Structure 1
Amino acid sequence: MRSRHPIRRSVIAATVLVLTTGVATAEATPTYREYVALGDSYAAIASVFTVHGTPGCFRSTDNYAGNVAKALGARLDDRSCGSATTAHMTTPQSTPMFGTNPPQFDGLTTSTDLVTVTIGGNDFGFESFIATCGLLAATDPLGNPCERYNNSTGTDKLVAKIDEVAPKIAAVLDGIQARAPRAKIVVVGYLPVLPPTTGCFPLTPMAVGDIAYMHGIQLKLNAMLSAQAAAHHATAVDLTGVRGHDVCQLPWNRWVEPVLPAAPTTPFHPNQSGQRGAANLVLAALASTSHPM
């Protein structure tokens, strides 16, 4: 990036440090006391054995928010919930296990000084995107049927959908700032599910030619989240730089699980290692940027 973005360059440098060392140093991290975590399943779940809170949200104590709060010594109010959309920031969410998660913004107060948020994937339709591409693979396993399907009208439907989600992310960030004006806001993106080019059938039941396309769509989603963060003076942790931890890696190197998980989490979602990795990247970003107050 150009010289007018020194904060972003420092975040990138800290990200490289974490990715190469595997640990984050919080020596220079400002003090945070009241931390609220918002988001969907990528924020909520780590291990199914540590799930707590609203039934059906699958909110784990060892998700990235739990790790960040422990490192900072902050009080955590984790409102994240699987299947959440941007609408559930301000409206209740019914879960598959007959639970009701209150509006996630209910956790925000004027004393909140740190907010992390991972949202937008369900507005975009991330799970249906993966499912559709998986089904289309059967029609042309060596080709790119998903890419052709989404570009059948001459305009990529998925790119257009990402553009449609952007104003919703903007509204979420405005809503956080209105309710928690003192808070440092960190927008955390989505860990890469697929490798950049080559898949690993049957762990990734996608057509050979669609792997790079699907990976690219996820990067565009993360880029949109980062752009909205920048436009609203929030910090972005887009996770785009994460490599070698996708579903095709050996079980001990994976941060995201494949169709048949080897770790106690759900398919195509972060495991405990992935949530620790995301937490380290959040901590690195906090250490590289200043507190708004």
Structure 2
Amino acid sequence: MSLRPSTVLTSVTAVSALGLLAGAALPVQAEEPSHYVALGDSFSAGTGTRAEVDDCYRSPHGFPALLADAHGLQLDYQACSGAETADVRRDQLGALSPATDYVTITIGGNDLGYASVITQCALPGWLSNCQGRINDALALLHSQMPQRYDALFAEIAARAPAADVVIGNYPHLFNGRDCNLATFFSAAEMRALNGATDQLADVIAERTQAAGFRSVDARPAFQGHAVCDSPEWVNGLSWPIQESYHPNRDGNIGYADIFWPGTSDTAPTSTTGSATDSRGASTGEATVSRAQQVRAQADAVLAMDLTGSTNLRLARAEGVPTGELTRLVAQLRSDDLATLEQALAGLAALDEQHATRAGR
């Protein structure tokens, strides 16, 4: 059967009504749980909720699990962190059948190199080719993704002809302010990343309509809940690193409501999905100490190798004072919390100065 929120109990209600009309106390047979297959990538697997189950993540706090629990669905959780459209076709569609009632999916971000784009844009501006990476992703989006979506959606329709198939997109991650001292997103870069999300959403909506499926839009619900918002539904830079830039537990409750309005009425609001310290650094975990947070941020910046010979040449060419840069990076190896915080703040200031000179 085709499953929609308004028709879940239709057959049970009809049997009850017939029994009343006949004046008989007929037992109502419970309907078999509707078969729900959750396809897709890390946004469907619940990455960001700090509850990894297996190599694909598949969190019990991911929105597919919340939907199944709230509406009594029989969940076949196929979504896998890191999946591209080809992975879904190869590894996940075998779960579909003519008996499948309901299908949800988020997909496409990894085809476009989501993680590598975010990583590039998080670098200081004098090292980053953020706009170049975004442009590469957009070129692929418009040249290849329509065909990839069409092939995937056609196969879903063929394998699950009776299913209600709902395609989701991705929220804006940024609100224009980078509150994490271990990342260096400029305002222009954040606008460009959100703009790329909009272009991807347009392609998803077009191909979903062409396939005859339903589409849902995550962007309105996540407005006011981006990284550095309060409350944020998306983790900023977090540890373990895979939790970064994905919806936390509250964000997955929001996603569940997007796919099936009213689901949040039965889902408890999370108090552990994310945390923001006094400097605004997103940790994703309320029990992480201040010292651990700052140490992790310092290590993340050290991993950028800002004072390697090649990177120093790039900094010098961009007008960055390399003596000050070298001094601040050396301070990141300190064991003193205040020194680490001052060094991180100093590096953020160097990046802001560079962005101002570059007109970003």
Give your verdict on TM over 0.5. Answer: yes
* Post-superposition CA distance 1:196-226 (Å, at most 9, x none): x444343652123211111111121122112
* Equivalent in the alignment of 1:272: 249
Contact 2:47 2:81 in 1 (8 A): no
* Equivalent in the alignment of 1:205: 184
Between the aligned partners of 2:182 and 2:250, the Cα distance in structure 1 is: 19
Structure 1 residues 245 and 204: CA distance shift in structure 2, 3 A: farther
* Post-superposition CA distance 1:98-125 (Å, at most 9, x none): xxxxx10111011001000111111111
Contact 2:99 2:160 in 1 (8 A): yes
Between the aligned partners of 2:96 and 2:187, the Cα distance in structure 1 is: 44
Structure 1 residues 228 and 256: CA distance shift in structure 2, 3 A: same
Between the aligned partners of 2:209 and 2:77, the Cα distance in structure 1 is: 24
DSSP 3-state at the match of 1:38: strand
Structure 1 residues 233 and 285: CA distance shift in structure 2, 3 A: farther
Q: When the two structures are superposed, what TM-score results if normalisation uses the length of structure 1?
A: 0.73
Q: 1:225 is matched with which residue: 185, 204, 207?
A: 204
Give 1:85 deviation, angstroms. 0.8
Contact 1:229 1:236 in 2 (8 A): yes
* Equivalent in the alignment of 2:151: 171
DSSP 3-state at the match of 1:42: helix
Between the aligned partners of 2:215 and 2:120, the Cα distance in structure 1 is: 29
Matched ranges for 1:14-33 at <5 A = 28-31=6-9, 33=34
Give 1:30 deviation, angstroms. 3.6
* Equivalent in the alignment of 1:134: 122
Higher strand share: 1
Q: 2:258 is matched with which residue: 252, 276, 281?
A: 281
* Post-superposition CA distance 1:30-53 (Å, at most 9, x none): 45711000011111025665433x
Q: When the two structures are superposed, what TM-score results if normalisation uses the length of structure 2?
A: 0.60
Q: 1:106 is matched with which residue: 94, 106, 112?
A: 94
Identical positions, percent: 29
Between the aligned partners of 1:208 and 1:47, the Cα distance in structure 2 is: 24
Give 1:285 deviation, angstroms. 9.7
Between the aligned partners of 1:208 and 1:49, the Cα distance in structure 2 is: 28
* Equivalent in the alignment of 2:161: 181
Query: Please, which runs of 5 or more residues in structure 2 have no aligned partner?
Result: 10-32, 264-360
Between the aligned partners of 1:186 and 1:61, the Cα distance in structure 2 is: 20
Higher helix share: 2
Corresponding pairs, count: 235
Relative to structure 2, which stretch is displaced further, 241-250 or 112-121? 241-250
Query: Please, which runs of 5 or more residues in structure 1 have no aligned partner?
Result: 1-25, 92-102, 287-293
Q: Is 1:51 aligned with 2:52?
A: yes
* Equivalent in the alignment of 2:174: 194
Which of the pair has more CA radius of gyration? 2
* Post-superposition CA distance 1:132-181 (Å, at most 9, x none): 222362448xxxx623x358xxxx43321211222111111111000000
Contact 2:50 2:243 in 1 (8 A): no
